[in-house]
Amino acid sequence: MADQTHGGHGQDPLEVDRLLTELESLHALLEEHKRPMAILFTDLKGSTAIFGERSDIDGVLVIQRTEALIRPIVGNYGGTVIKTIGDAVMASFPSATEAVEAAIAIQRTLESDNRERTAEDRLVLRIGINAGKGLIKAADVYGQVVNIAAKLQGAAEGDQILISKTMFQALSDELTQRAEPRGTLEVAGLTQPLEVYDVHWQEGDRRPAPEKLAAPSEPHLITMAGENTLTQRLLGGRTIEVSSFPFRVGRNPLQEAGRAEKHPPSKIPTNDLYLYDSPPYRISREHFQIEVHDGKYVVRDRASRLGLIVNGRGIGGDHPESKQTLVKGVNLLVVGDADSPYRFLITA
């Protein structure tokens, strides 16, 4: 009697068809367990150094302090803490707007808390948020919505909130005014690069809605020049014109000595201007930025180690204040402590 199975290997094609049909039904059932949501990831910058340079107990206490700050805020905005992974927190929210509002509240609460602490006790968070459908299993969430949120958090710098384009499109009009395009990311499983937006969370830090933007009488423009031979050489002997804000400055550890670099090495740049420094470092990788608020230029420390001095006033580092408004005309900006040779002239 002839073998009726395919190739004589004992495989019943009707059985394979039945299994494929059942698999398709299972996929449909699993899809019913997916829900639209926004996923938020936080990460504590510098936690590894705390464990390494201080003690395991100090590290655990810092993580507990971070979690104690985040949990109530998540709940206040309708969210749920899904789990903690070391110093990272994963939370879900019913909407994109609630997730971003919670992220802004977290960063602002942390900034307020940091003012009362010494430089070594200040906490800096990176936050990434994505929206989409997640597969709910027990008390956990799985899927690409989670993977992308984690990827955004990994790409964020200290004090930054990064969101996907999907998130941006789902935000309220008020929150979209706070979001600025920051480039793209390559994400496994996506055929196109992921468009990324940076959410400005500081008080009053928002962009005018495009339809309400009046043509300015003159564009915002400041200049940055070296105050001494070292900083003049760092800037290549030129005066830099800045017309796009926020303008971020920090150290590039991979750069060859002797020159500043205005071309970021990654798709989502952490700085607009990279400065060379050598050990012992006075310039942090993410040191400061210059912003525009109500027509005034503001220098803001980005949780740097030594801070900076603006017209004789210290901000960041061990200083209680984190920002300083520039005066009209020439300003002296010292990156690092009072003895730092990294001195620049900012003309506003």
What whole-number distance in Å separates Cα of residue 320 and Cα of residue 315?
Answer: 7
Residue 270 lies in a domain: yes
Residue 299 lies in a domain: yes
Same domain, 134 and 246: no
Same domain, 43 and 156: yes
Q: Residue 10's pLDDT is what?
A: 57
Same domain, 249 and 292: yes
Q: Please count the structural domains in the chain.
A: 2
Q: Residue 283's pLDDT is what?
A: 92
Same domain, 84 and 196: yes
Task: Tell me which residue of 334, 303, 297 sits closest to 316, measured CA to CA.
Answer: 303
Residue 237 lies in a domain: yes
CATH number at residue 260: 2.60.200.20
Residue 13 lies in a domain: no
Same domain, 56 and 193: yes
Same domain, 286 and 194: no
Residue 25 lies in a domain: no
Residue 258 domain boundaries: 222-347
Same domain, 50 and 188: yes
Q: Residue 240's pLDDT is what?
A: 92
Q: Residue 213's pLDDT is what?
A: 30
Residue 224 phi, psi dihedral angles, 5° rounding = -130, 125
Q: Under a CB-based contact definition with an 8 Å cutoff, are residues 201 and 180 in contact?
A: no
What whole-number distance in Å separates Cα of residue 262 and Cα of residue 229?
Answer: 19
Q: Under a CB-based contact definition with an 8 Å cutoff, are residues 301 and 315 in contact?
A: yes
Same domain, 158 and 132: yes
DSSP string, 239-287: PEEE-SSSEEEEE-TTSPTT--B-S-SSSS-S-SEEE---SSP-S-TT-
216-223 long-range contacts (CB < 8 A, ≥24 apart) are 219/243, 220/245, 220/292, 220/297, 222/290, 222/297, 222/326, 222/346, 222/347, 222/348, 223/346, 223/347
Confidence class for position 30, pLDDT limits 50, 70, 90: low
What whole-number distance in Å separates Cα of residue 301 and Cα of residue 282?
Answer: 13
Task: Tell me which residue of 90, 79, 96 sits closest to 38, measured CA to CA.
Answer: 96
Residue 21 lies in a domain: no
Residue 101 lies in a domain: yes
Q: Residue 290's pLDDT is what?
A: 93
141-148 long-range contacts (CB < 8 A, ≥24 apart) are 141/37, 141/39, 141/82, 141/90, 141/92, 143/34, 144/189, 145/37, 145/39, 146/39, 146/90, 147/187, 147/188, 147/189, 148/187, 148/190, 148/194
Same domain, 229 and 314: yes
Same domain, 142 and 230: no
Same domain, 98 and 180: yes
139-196 confidence digits (pLDDT tens) = 889 889 999 999 999 888 888 999 999 999 999 888 998 998 888 888 777 888 889 9
184-229 confidence digits (pLDDT tens) = 888 777 888 889 999 999 875 554 443 333 333 345 689 999 999 9
Same domain, 40 and 168: yes
Global pTM reads 0.60
Residue 191 lies in a domain: yes
Minimum mean pLDDT range among 32-36, 70-74, 231-235: 32-36
CATH number at residue 71: 3.30.70.1230
DSSP string, 97-155: HHHHHHHHHHHHHHHHHHHTS-GGG---EEEEEEEEEEEEETTEEESHHHHHHHHHHHH
Read off the tokens for 197: 């937006």
